[in-house]
Structures are given as structure tokens and as C-alpha cells.
Amino acid sequence: MTLSLLIVQLLNGLQFGVLLFLVAAGLTLVFGVMDFINLAHGVQYMLGAYLAVTFVSLTGSFLLGLALALAAALLLGLALEFLVFRHLYERDHLDQVLATFGLILLLNQAVKMIWGAAPLSVPVPEFLSGNVRLMDGILYPVYRFALIAAGLSVGALLWFVVEKTRTGMLLRAGASNAPMVSALGVDIRKLFMIVFAFGTMLAGFAGAMAAPILSVEPGMGDTVLILAFVVIVVGGIGSIRGAFVGALIVGLVDTLGRSSMNDLLRLFMAPASARATGAALSSMLIYLVMAAVLFVKPEGLLPAKGRS
């Protein structure tokens, strides 16, 4: 692989990692603070994308559409929380897994019914279109840079909130020991709702931002969900820093793995089957990495302090 291609793939890996971070951050917070396994988190990502499709085409403006999509995603998330999730906080993990699994079935199908099964897309906004010239011969899309920038800023904002504010302190305390926080008189329900709203918005934002560069289709949240779980397991449950590091690792390994696997297999296979086999084998790569990490450090790379 040439240097320019390598740089492009590195940037792609970074961009994918940032996207995963946004989804995983919400997931790890919800699981870390509320001990709630939410398999439907991927669906929230998918809804963000679909809502972006609708609102951007309705308003004609990317930014306005994005804002509306976020608001709608938040509302839907809160509705789900009210109707289903809050009844599951006290239940054991098995019940949570099952109930949110049922939600995935429902919402994937509902999305198919409302928007149709064909893949949709959002046009890249004017002010973010075009390419940037990095070095000689390397052009990289402006939008992807914007995505990286947006994701990193959200990450920085999240870091600020979690490390420097009182709400953040409660979140970190809750991630280590939720009953204790409750016993200290904090309204745990309000804290849960804030955490949940945060998480939902992050996922929806990721979905909406991803819409212009990925194909928006039913079930798009499922792979992302599994990868997000891999991220938080690798990074350490309840840890935002862990989610960040984990997401970058997963993003880079996955992207670089795919492209190099493709090149490798093309050496002795026909291009079409090389691509198919390559895609499959490189999908396995991430899980091998996860298995290796868990083998050496079962609690993850950067576990939240205080968690066993």
C-alpha cells in the first residue's frame, strides 16, 4: 500500500473510530451508571440517521435538519425510556437483553415500513463538500474531516462535563457505585434520565452525522451496536476514556484491516471473491483483537476507577 493510501486509510480509521466513540460513550455511560444493557442503543443511532434524512430533505438545510433530527431522536429516546426502559432498571441482565432485543425487532421493522427497505442517503451539505489537499496526490473529503472534528469536540465536551462539573462527578460516582450515590440523597431517577438523554443524543448525533457518508438502511444500527459493545468491553465498562481509546483501536484496526486484507487476498484470489472473503475475514479481526485484550486484561484497558 502506498503512503498516500495509508494516510487516507488512517484518516478513515480515525473517522470511523470517532463515530464509534460517540455511540460507545452513550452506551458505556448508561451501562456504567445504571447497570442497564441497552441493545436498542444501535437503533437510536439508526433513528438519528433516518430522522436526518427526513428533516434535511424537508428543510433543505443540513444544519437545521441535523438540529431537528437530534431533537426528534431525543424525544423518541425519552419516550422509549418512559415506556420500556425504566421498568427494566431493576430487572436482571437477561430480562434487559431480551426486552431490548424485542425493541430492535420492532424498530427495524417499523423503519422498514415507514421509510421503505431501500437504502437512503443525505446529500453532503454545500459548505462541507469538496476535498482538501493534504499532500501531493492526497485528497480527503472535507465532510469526513468535519466529522472527525465534530466527534473530537463532542469528546472534549464530554470530558469536560464528566471531569469538571458536578453532574459529571455524580456520573463518575454512579459509574463506580450507584446505590451509594442514591444513598447520599441524589435523585437517582433524575440522574438516570440525564445519563440516558445524553446517551441517546450521542447515538442519534452519530447516526445523523454518518448519514451523508454511509447508506441509511434498516438494521444499520446492529453492526454498529455490536462494535460499540466491543469498544466498551475493550476500553472498560463505565469509562469514557476507555471508550475513546477502545473506539480508536477498533476503528483503526477495522479500517486498516479491511484494506490490507483486501490487498493481501488479491495476490492470489479473483478480485470479487477477494473482496467478499476479505470483508468477512477482516470482520473477524476485530473480535480476535477483543479476545486478545480480554484474555490479558479482563476488566478492559482503562476501566473506570473503583469498578472490580
**CB 278 → other proteins: shortest distance, Å?**
8
- Among candidates 206, 194, 44, 26, which has minimal Cα distance to 111? 44
Q: Which of 6, 67, 78, 84 binds other proteins (CB under 8 A)?
A: 84
Q: Measured between alpha carbons, how far apart are the two ends of the chain, in Å?
A: 43
Query: Nearest 5°: phi and psi at 186?
Result: -75, 140
Q: How far is the CB of 88 from other proteins (least distance, A)?
A: 8
301 lines the binding site for other proteins (CB under 8 A): no
User: Which residues are CB-contacts of 250 (< 8 A; sequence separation ≥ 6)?
Assistant: 17, 20, 227, 230, 231, 234, 286, 289
Q: Do the strands 131-133 and 139-141 form a parallel or antiparallel pair, or are they unpaired?
A: antiparallel
Cβ-based burial of 61 (10 A; exposed 0-12, middle 13-18, buried ≥19): middle
Q: Can you tell me which of 101, 119, 157, 190 binds other proteins, judged by CB under 8 A?
A: 101
Write down the least CB distance from residue 67 to other proteins, Å: 29
Minimum CB–partner distance for residue 148 and other proteins (Å): 26
Residue 10 or 110: the one with the smaller Cβ distance to other proteins is 110
Number of residues forming the site for other proteins (CB under 8 A) = 47
Cell of residue 232, nine digits:
466498551
- For position 288 contacting other proteins by CB under 8 A, the verdict is yes
240 binds other proteins per the rule CB under 8 A: no
Residue 98 near other proteins by CB under 8 A = yes
The answer to whether residue 149 forms part of the interface with other proteins (CB under 8 A) is no
> Does 248 participate in binding other proteins (rule CB under 8 A)?
no
Ranges within 173-192 binding other proteins (CB under 8 A): none
Residue 59 CB, nearest distance to other proteins (Å)?
Answer: 29
From 44-52, 197-205, 246-254, 284-292, give the range in contact with other proteins by CB under 8 A: 284-292
Confirm or reject binding of residue 118 to other proteins (CB under 8 A).
no
Contact flag: residue 153 with other proteins (CB under 8 A): no
Nearer to other proteins, 11 or 35 (CB): 35
Task: Determine which residue in the list 88, 175, 203, 256 makes contact with other proteins, applying CB under 8 A.
Answer: 88
Minimum separation from the CB atom of position 6 to other proteins (A): 25
Of the listed pieces 64-72, 80-88, 184-192, 205-213, which binds other proteins according to CB under 8 A? 80-88
Binding site for other proteins (CB under 8 A): 31, 37, 84, 87-88, 91, 93-95, 97-99, 101-110, 112-113, 222, 226, 229-230, 233, 237, 273, 276-277, 279-281, 283-284, 286-288, 290-291, 294-295, 298, 300
